[in-house]
Amino acid sequence: MSRVTSAAESPRPAGDEPLLKLAGISKSFREVEVLRDVVLECPPGEVHAIVGENGAGKSTLVKVVAGAHQPDRGTMTLDGRAVSFHHPRQAQAAGVSIIYQEFNLLTDRTVAQNIFLGREPTRGPLIDRRRLEEDTVALLEQLNVSGSISPRAKISDLSVAQQQIVEIAKALSFDAQILIMDEPTASLAPPEVEALFEIVRQLRERGMLIFYVSHRLKEIFALADRVTVLKDGDQVATTDIGSLTPDSIVRLMVGRELSDYFPELAAPDDIGEVRLRVRGGSNQHISDIDLELRAGEIVGLAGLEGSGRTEVAEAIFGVEPFETGTIELDGEQVSIRRPRQAVDHRIGFVTEDRKTQGLVLPRSVLENTLLPLRTLSGHDRREREAVHEVAEGSTLTMQLAERVDLRAASLDQEVRFLSGGNQQKVVFAKWLASDAWVLLFDEPTRGIDVGAKAGIHDLMRGLAKRGAAVLMVSSELPEVIGMSDRIVVMSHGRIAGELEAGASEADIMLLATGQSNGDGPDVRHPAEEVAAAKTAQEDQAAETAEATADSELSEVTSNPHDDQMGHDPGEVSG
């Protein structure tokens, strides 16, 4: 563990006694250490960013400060006094408030009722409504939003940004000295982000210590005074923001350069015969799908949300089968009406939603990995087991776990305790175990952090190299471009065109938005057409643009259910 020390660790200007001191904070879940010996001294009036990949321990660290987790070792000193919080309420009373990504607000109640929940000013036995509202207005005035948010507004009528401000007002009502914000901008639009920054800066002026947990480096450089980088539970660095660059932060976080992000594409020799051919496939969602997947090849399936990408994968896998048209596997026509048959035909499907569709959460790594094998009848199973050259389940699982670089406490660990990236690796191991030849991936890296993403991409390429035919549905254009040997673009339930490896985002967007008929890779486009396509395409492009702008660190689509920073107490990062 190398810790970058810098001037920032020496005392700040005189009079700035540290507001918060952490010494040797460590925390384990189920014998997995997720936080190791964190040492921190923060003065008041600082914005302190906490960065790291998913599973690095950011969330655990701030939850320890906020009293939601109790450290196994280490001490915490607040304003010169040693404190140990057994409950978030104690922390709140001591001046530490936390705002989670998912807000703690009662959506059917008003702003004022939420802020003073359980502490309503009373007159006799009744709530003093006037004072309640006056106090609320006073708080909102401090944040310069009393004009836009009424104390009587119902939370459900507010925008996400406004709800966040209510959370901040609530923290102020507790006289918070320390405010922790967990991915505060995850669901904010750019102007709202700017407004939030204004508020954060203002709170800093007033001497508040703000912990800012975020993936988005751009924001951190815009806002933070100091940064703590965590990696696998280790405090890799705590330093002034000025001494770092986005690249150096990423290096500290993942221990490698961003340029290794995608593995190499297939060489022409790597690509073999057609493994899977769909002809004229149609069902109620998609029509006239003609698609070929070749051994050794990764085909990217791009398109807008709702263009039918996922439906193509689902139809091939028999979830919602084609009603007309044919599927051929290695030249032989097959009928796939149910997932069961797809598995028989050596097709594997890595679904977008791991937690409900990919894994049986309360079962072990071992059982999840071996499940597809166990659905097969004796002969089929033996044939596929023979590929692995080990017959016994736990040996096989161990071997596969090593192959996908799974990090789990043991093979008997329930998969619900794994981080998102590791869960996805179990899904991989599962289809490796079943020796699938055609693999369908639907958003394989959604909700997975940068380091694990690269691992997943390597695994996908590795599968192709071993002769599998791979179809990858993805909303992330950089991923489509970086991974695909061929790109098929969908629009309105049909295939709009096909592009060769290395096509540009503009090429894909043109097809996806129906601006071009896409006769192969030679799509020519006048510049204005590109511009038009991009405008028409705001939603999709905004995500992509954001990803690029943030050094590809943000999770492009932050799905709260998929997120590692969720509040599942059972979540073990690592």
Partner 1 sequence: MSDTTKPADEGRVPQRQQPAASRLDRFGGHALEHLKASAPILAVLIVIFAAIIYLNPAFLDPPVFLAFLRRAAPLMILAAGQVFVIVSGGFDLSVGSLITVTVVVAAAITEGDPDALIPVMMLVLLIGVLVGMVNGVVTTMLKVPSIITTLGMLLILRGAVFYWTGGSPTGALADNFRQFGREAFDLPVIGQLPYAAIIVIAVAWIATRLLHRTAFGHQLLATGGGARAAQLTGVNITRVRIIAFVLSALSAVIAGILLAGFAGVSAQVGQGYEFRAISAVVLGGAAIGGGRGSVVATVIGALTLEALFMLLNLLGLPQPLRESVQGVIIIGAVVYAGLRLQRSGG
Question: Rule CB under 8 A: which residues touch partner 1?
Answer: 29-30, 32-33, 232-233, 317, 319, 339-340, 342-344, 349, 351, 356-363, 365, 367-368, 370-372, 374-376, 381, 390-395, 398, 401-402, 406-412, 417, 430, 434, 568-572, 574
| CB-based contacts of 374, cutoff 8 Å, min separation 6 | 381
C-beta of 115: minimal distance to partner 1 in Å? 30
C-beta of 454: minimal distance to partner 1 in Å? 16
C-beta of 86: minimal distance to partner 1 in Å? 15
Helix axes 505-512, 527-536, angle to 10 degrees: 60
Element (H, E) at 498: strand 494-500
Cα–Cα dist 432/528, whole Å:
46
C-beta of 166: minimal distance to partner 1 in Å? 30
C-beta of 256: minimal distance to partner 1 in Å? 16
Considering beta carbons, is residue 117 or 386 the nearer one to partner 1?
A: 386
Considering beta carbons, is residue 16 or 37 the nearer one to partner 1?
A: 37
Instruction: Give the pairing type, strands 298-303 and 494-500.
Output: unpaired
Considering beta carbons, is residue 122 or 395 the nearer one to partner 1?
A: 395
Q: Where are the beta strands (DSSP E) in 30-149?
A: 32-42, 47-51, 73-78, 81-83, 96-99, 122-123, 126-127
Q: Where are the beta strands (DSSP E) in 122-249?
A: 122-123, 126-127, 178-182, 209-213, 226-231, 234-240
Considering beta carbons, is residue 70 or 122 the nearer one to partner 1?
A: 70
Considering beta carbons, is residue 36 or 226 the nearer one to partner 1?
A: 36
Cα–Cα dist 166/137, whole Å:
11
Closest by alpha carbon to 502, among 480, 526, 470?
A: 480
Residue in the structure block whose two tokens are 């991989």: 428
CB 472 within 8 A of CB 484: yes
* Two tokens, residue 233: 């539970």
Considering beta carbons, is residue 233 or 308 the nearer one to partner 1?
A: 233
Considering beta carbons, is residue 116 or 417 the nearer one to partner 1?
A: 417
Element (H, E) at 402: helix 393-403
Burial 427-436 (b: 16+ CB within 10 A, else e): bbbbbbbbbb
C-beta of 352: minimal distance to partner 1 in Å? 11
C-beta of 573: minimal distance to partner 1 in Å? 10
Considering beta carbons, is residue 239 or 422 the nearer one to partner 1?
A: 422
Cα–Cα dist 118/132, whole Å:
12
C-beta of 265: minimal distance to partner 1 in Å? 29
